[in-house]
Chain A
Amino acid sequence: MKRMLLSFSVCCLMTIPLLAQGKTPVFGGIETGFVTFDNEKRSLDFIRESASDYDYYGDYAGSTNSLYNVFYAGFKQEFPVISRLSFSTGVRFTQVGSSIKPESGSYMYLFLSSEGTTTNFAKARKISQNSQYLGVPLEFRWYLPSYHFVRSYVKLGATVNYRIATSTRVTFTDEMMNQYDGDIESQVKKPDSFYSMGYASVGLRVGKQYGPSINFEAVMPAFEITTNSSSLTTPITGFGVQVTFQFPMNFKSE
């Protein structure tokens, strides 16, 4: 599967330059970005609730707080399609990190095991899961004004990613309990093998028309196209930032 993704991205990089016409160069770029998501904790049977369903005011209350963040970095090329529209693709490494902490207090109780009438809990400060993916970004960028040194643009993008590794870790209150990390890990399913995210963004390109440039963009909103990229939480909507350094790759002056 990794080979397939790699082949696909190489094909994209090799064939799409055909779109580039005339004097407009193809840009290479190194990108990095971060997106944080509003999310909902999954129903996890091994976490003991520590707060009632509803608080004093009758509002729904939870026992835990969850985080879901995406960090990525990669290389991509931007190909002009028509005067203001361009298409980018490349290879992207993505790390999806999610974690659960107690909403109040400093620890939560996790179910470890049960044998006969003896039940074992452990106190934990945090459960976190990190998954690494290799994928392909696909982006369409529309430049709003014609050339200026600072040029604004809007972008629509998506990524298709294949999971290469996942690790789940529990931070216990007592280090002696680290040996039971596997008992929790065995109760947490692995995320799906494929993960896909869609996003829109607005940004500024700073640089000469055919020269190197730096691009700053605000990613908002971002959303998951696939649903199971974390076993701990379900992402809903995200926002973040992306920075790309670009340089011309095949420019020939007239």
Chain B
Amino acid sequence: MKKNFLLIVSAVLLTSGCSSSDNLEDSVYVYDEEYTDLPAYTEWGYNTFGAYYDRNLFISSDATPAKVLSKGGKTVFSLQGTYDIYGSMTVKFVLDGYSPAKYADLVSLNDSTIDLANPKCKVCLLLNGIEDTLNILNGQLYIKRAQHLLVNKESVEAILSGYFQFQMLNDGTPSTISHGRFDVGIGYDNFYKL
């Protein structure tokens, strides 16, 4: 009985601790008015993204939805979420020749369009633990806005907001990722420089 009581008290304390939603790291879903199951395009660093993968929903989950890895003259921008009923899926955009030293340097991507069919760019898909490099037929990654965010005058993160869509051949099967949009914060906990 005493054990149960302690368990209940611990659960209440834990859940009340988790209910505080004042962190920039939290995902905030403000839904699109037209594509109602996708997050709207925003520029607040809401840590969400969404797209349709062959008309099925690919959307950020509450875990860290975006990571940036800068290594050896390349940068990998990855978006991790869930793909309909198929489970966890990650799309990785590998940008050759771009290597920011710190997260604040990501603002150099402000208002830039990356042609995903360009040989200097690579797109990988990680689904159920299997990673494939996609044969991109056409498509763009458009970083509409990149901001260096200061909170109370202290540097906190970079916010990357934009759109993406592309057509690809995956194991010879044509597929489309469409209406993609993202608004993610990249800071100390999800920016890596190797």
Contacts and interface: CB of A to CB of B under 8 A. Distances in A.
B and A form one assembly: yes
A50 B149 contact: no
Nearest to A103: B21
A56 B44 CA distance: 22
A104 B147 contact: no
Interface in A116-142: 117-123
Interface string A90-104: 000000000000101
A114 B151 contact: no
A177 interface: yes
A117 B29 contact: no
Q: Which of A49, A119, A121 is most buried by chain B, counting CB atoms within 10 A of its CB? A: A119
A53 interface: yes
B29 A123 contact: no
A118 B150 contact: yes
Interface stretch (A105-113, A143-151, A226-234): A105-113
A49 B159 CA distance: 15
User: Looking at chain A, what size class is its interface with the partner chain?
Assistant: 20 to 34
Interface string A45-84: 0001111111000000001000000000000000000000
A173 B147 contact: no
A177 B152 contact: yes
B128 interface: no
B21 A120 contact: no
A176 interface: yes
Interface in B107-149: 107, 110, 146-149
The SS class assigned to the B binding surface is: loop
Contact of A117 (B20, B21, B148): B148
B73 to A, nearest CB: 23
A120 B150 contact: yes
Q: Which of A54, A107, A120 is most buried by chain B, counting CB atoms within 10 A of its CB? A: A120
B68 to A, nearest CB: 16
A53 B22 contact: no
Q: Which of A48, A122, A173 is most buried by chain B, counting CB atoms within 10 A of its CB? A: A48
A54 B148 CA distance: 29
B150 A117 contact: no
Interface in B1-60: 19-22, 24, 26-31, 44, 46
Contact of A176 (B21, B151, B152): B152
B29 A52 contact: yes
Given A51-B21, A105-B21, A121 B28 contact: no
A109 B159 contact: no
B151 A123 contact: yes
A109 B20 contact: no
A50 B152 contact: no
Contacts of A173: 152
B149 A119 contact: yes
A123 B29 CA distance: 20
Contacts of B159: 119
Contacts of A109: 22, 24, 151
Q: Would you list the 9 A-B pairs with minimal beta carbon distance, nearest first?
A: A105-B22, A52-B29, A117-B107, A105-B20, A119-B147, A121-B151, A50-B21, A118-B148, A174-B152
Given A63-B28, A117-B107, A122-B152, 9 more contacts: A48-B44, A50-B28, A51-B21, A106-B22, A109-B24, A117-B148, A119-B147, A120-B150, A121-B151
23 contacts: A49-B28, A49-B44, A51-B21, A53-B31, A63-B28, A104-B21, A104-B22, A105-B21, A106-B20, A107-B22, A109-B24, A109-B151, A114-B147, A117-B148, A118-B147, A118-B150, A119-B149, A120-B151, A120-B153, A121-B149, A123-B151, A177-B152, A177-B153
Interface of B: 19-22, 24, 26-31, 44, 46, 107, 110, 146-153, 159
